[in-house]
Copies of this chain bind each other. A is one copy, B any other.
Amino acid sequence: MARKPSLTGFPEWLPAERVVEQHVLDTLRRIFELHGFSNIETRAVETVGQLLRKGEIDKEVYGVSRLQDDAAAKDDANALALHFDLTVPFARYVVENAGYLQFPFRRYQMQKVWRGERPQDGRFREFTQADVDIVGDGTLPFRYDVELALVIAEALSALELGDFRLRVNNRKLSEGFYRGLGIEDTASVLRAIDKLEKIGAAKVSEELQADGLSEEQAAKALALASIRASDGSFVEAVRELGVEHPLLEEGLDELRQVVEAAAVAAPGRVIADLSIARGLDYYTGTVYETVLVGHEKLGSICSGGRYESLASNGKKTFPGVGLSIGVSRLVSRLLAEGTLVASREVPTAVLVALPNDGEWLRAQEVARQLRGRGISTEVMATAEKFGKQIKHADRRGIPFVWFLGEHGASDTVKDIRTGEQLEAAAETWVPPLEDLVPTVTPAAQAGDAAVGH
């Protein structure tokens, strides 16, 4: 992003940048729909009562009230506020519409969310998330945890962002291990382990011991967090630590299923990483994080997990498993680094030139025929000199200019990049496939193309 947004934390893209963002969203939509996920959208506002149920995030929430109303009581649970993620609204939607939905309900949702936090590098106050979840009615087979890892691996591969790692762990595994060590407050251990990448093993060990763990317990917890494997070998590595607990066994078995299926279906992309903790309390099994190799500083671009109770209507609970992709953060980085590049900023493939102002309707007819075959076409509004009309196309990045035949001659079309001009008929001419619509390609590939590969 070369330009500074006029409101800090609220990015806006130029047309060529939006082509890249739209490509990302279209690609995710295509993959999610190929896997049978339905799209929904929820309203931008929730009641404050809904949003604050998870607690502790109220400082980031934007309240919403009519300008004409008296100063609204912001602590009123019925006051409105902008959603800060897509999980809380989705939970409400599922409970409200349970009678109209078919379970397991597979949905993806791509919308803006708002957080009133201090904007830092890569942190926005308004940003787009793409969430994908499967939710059950009472129960949800574990296999969906495996499936979602495969869906995300396929979606990220389709984006051609380069190499990535989907790092998977399991809360049952960690919690069972800690319990097997005789630790009761397993949540505080998870919170400390979550800081491992930021503050390092020594400081985490200090913190764990301050929380009441023995030096040996802390050492074992850190040893567990150091285990990584792209196959089922992590199970043996855990066993060598000599800790036993039924919940640990359950977690080992689940994580092994995810990693072994991924080793077949998405080789090299999915690894067991026993340091992954995820801050949020509601995960109860599988947890996922994703890093772009070479862009580790960006943090996790796609995270999620299994939750035994996404929502409840009092009578039953809705367990789920899902992931969320931080689209704005990702796109902002891709744009800043030129990782993905749009071939042009306008959809237009052809500009129909005007020999004189009286030919505008004839030019529109040519345009109509081209559009009828899927070719994006504009018509000049005024008959300037042809040189000026070609310059108009060039300025807008339109690759072809169409010239109406005069005095009975055929129409011609000119590739203004090469200067090549050929006879053409509006009923049959097609541009080369790579010029039909703007394409978005990884920069390396775009570079290759420029030197002739």
A7, B45: Cα distance in complex, Å: 9
Beta-carbon contact of B14 and A97 below 8 Å: yes
A interface bracket (residues with beta carbon within 8 Å of B): 35 or more
Chain B neighbourhood of A104, CB < 8 A: 381
A141 at the interface (CB under 8 A from B): yes
Beta-carbon contact of A34 and B67 below 8 Å: no
Beta-carbon contact of A36 and B381 below 8 Å: no
Chain B neighbourhood of A97, CB < 8 A: 3, 14
Chain B neighbourhood of A6, CB < 8 A: 92, 96
Beta-carbon contact of A141 and B45 below 8 Å: no
Q: A42-B12, A147-B381 are in contact. Are A67 and B62 (CB under 8 A)?
A: yes
| Chain B proximity of A435: nearest CB distance (Å) | 14
**Which chain B residue lies CB-closest to A99?**
B3
Q: Mark A50-68, 1 if CB is under 8 A from B, else 0.
A: 0000000011111111111
Chain B neighbourhood of A3, CB < 8 A: 97, 100
Beta-carbon contact of A346 and B265 below 8 Å: no
Beta-carbon contact of B43 and A347 below 8 Å: no
Partner of A378 from the list B48, B106, B360, B437 (CB cut-off 8 Å) is: B106
Binds B, one of A193-201, A243-251, A295-303, A368-376: A368-376
A313 at the interface (CB under 8 A from B): no
A93, B141: Cα distance in complex, Å: 48
A361 at the interface (CB under 8 A from B): yes
Q: A10-B43, A381-B144 are in contact. Are A68 and B59 (CB under 8 A)?
A: yes
Partner of A81 from the list B67, B96, B150 (CB cut-off 8 Å) is: B67
- A38, A345, A364: most-surrounded residue (chain B CB, <10 A): A38
**Which chain B residue lies CB-closest to A378?**
B36
A42, B126: Cα distance in complex, Å: 11
Chain B neighbourhood of A36, CB < 8 A: 346-348, 376-378, 398
A182 at the interface (CB under 8 A from B): no
| Chain B proximity of A410: nearest CB distance (Å) | 23
Beta-carbon contact of B62 and A64 below 8 Å: yes
Identify which of residues 69-85 in chain A touch chain B, using a CB-to-CB cut-off of 8 Å. Answer: 71, 74, 80-82
Chain B neighbourhood of A159, CB < 8 A: none
Partner of A38 from the list B37, B63, B144, B347 (CB cut-off 8 Å) is: B347
A315 at the interface (CB under 8 A from B): no
Chain B neighbourhood of A396, CB < 8 A: 102
Beta-carbon contact of A143 and B381 below 8 Å: yes
Identify which of residues 109-137 in chain A touch chain B, using a CB-to-CB cut-off of 8 Å. Answer: 112, 114, 116, 126
Identify which of residues 9-56 in chain A touch chain B, using a CB-to-CB cut-off of 8 Å. Answer: 10-15, 18-19, 22, 33-45, 47-48
Chain B neighbourhood of A451, CB < 8 A: none
A264 at the interface (CB under 8 A from B): yes
A101 at the interface (CB under 8 A from B): yes
Chain B neighbourhood of A361, CB < 8 A: 261, 264-265
| Chain B proximity of A363: nearest CB distance (Å) | 11
Partner of A35 from the list B82, B92, B376 (CB cut-off 8 Å) is: B376
Chain B neighbourhood of A147, CB < 8 A: 364, 379, 381
Partner of A12 from the list B37, B93, B379, B398 (CB cut-off 8 Å) is: B93
**Which chain B residue lies CB-closest to A345?**
B38
Q: A141-B381, A265-B364, A381-B141 are in contact. Are A18 and B43 (CB under 8 A)?
A: no
**Which chain B residue lies CB-closest to A39?**
B18
Residues of A whose CB lies within 8 Å of any CB of B are 3, 5-7, 10-15, 18-19, 22, 33-45, 47-48, 58-68, 71, 74, 80-82, 92-93, 96-97, 100-102, 104, 106-107, 112, 114, 116, 126, 141, 143-144, 147, 150, 261, 264-265, 345-348, 360-361, 364-365, 368, 371, 374-379, 381-382, 395-398, 437
Instruction: Pull 21 A–B residue pairs with CB atoms less than 8 Å apart, ordered by A.
Output: A3-B97, A6-B92, A12-B41, A12-B93, A34-B377, A35-B371, A36-B377, A38-B346, A44-B112, A44-B126, A59-B66, A60-B66, A62-B65, A63-B66, A102-B345, A102-B395, A102-B396, A106-B378, A147-B364, A261-B361, A261-B364
Other than A5-B43, A63-B65, give 14 A-B pairs with Cβ distance below 8 A: A12-B93, A18-B40, A18-B41, A19-B38, A33-B347, A33-B437, A34-B376, A34-B377, A35-B376, A44-B112, A61-B66, A62-B67, A64-B82, A106-B378
